[in-house]
Homo-oligomer: A and B are copies of this chain.
Amino acid sequence: MKPRIGVIGASEINTEEYKTAEIVGSEIAKRDGIVICGGMEGVMEAVSKGARSQNGLVVGILPGSRAEQANKYIDVPIVTGFGHGRNIIVVSSSEAIIAIGGSFGTLSEISFALRLKIPIIGLNTWNVSEQIIQTNDPVQAVDKAFSSISCSRNSGL
Residues of A within 8 A of B (CB): 1-2, 4, 34, 57, 59, 61, 65, 67, 74-85, 87-89, 92-93, 95, 103-105, 107-108, 111-112, 114-116, 126, 128-129
8 cross-chain pairs, A with B, having the tightest CB-CB distances, nearest first: A108-B111, A79-B92, A104-B115, A81-B83, A107-B111, A104-B114, A79-B93, A85-B88
Q: List residues of chain B with CB within 8 A of the CB of A129.
A: 104
A57 cross-chain contacts in B, Cβ below 8 A: 57, 76
In the complex, which residues of chain B have a beta carbon less than 8 angstroms from the beta carbon of A93?
67, 77-79
Known: A81-B82, A83-B81. A34 touches B76 (CB 8 A): yes
Asked if residues B79 and A82 are in contact (CB atoms below 8 Å), the reply is no
Instruction: Please give the count of copies of this chain that the complex contains.
Output: 4
Cβ–Cβ contact B76 & A59, under 8 A = yes
Write out the residue numbers on chain B whose beta carbons fall within 8 Å of the beta carbon of A104: 111-112, 114-115, 129
A78 and B107 form a contact (CB under 8 A): no
Whether A78 contacts B61 by the Cβ 8 Å rule is: yes
Q: How far is the CA of A11 from the CA of B78 in the complex (A)?
A: 22
Complex contacts, A59 vs chain B, CB 8 Å: 59, 76, 78
Interface pair B85/A81, CB less than 8 Å apart: yes
Among A61, A76, A84, A92, the one with the most B-chain Cβ atoms within 10 Å of its Cβ is: A92
Contact status B79-A89, CB under 8 Å: yes
Q: A65-B92, A79-B92 are in contact. List 5 more A-B contacts (CB 8 A).
A: A4-B67, A57-B76, A61-B78, A82-B82, A107-B107
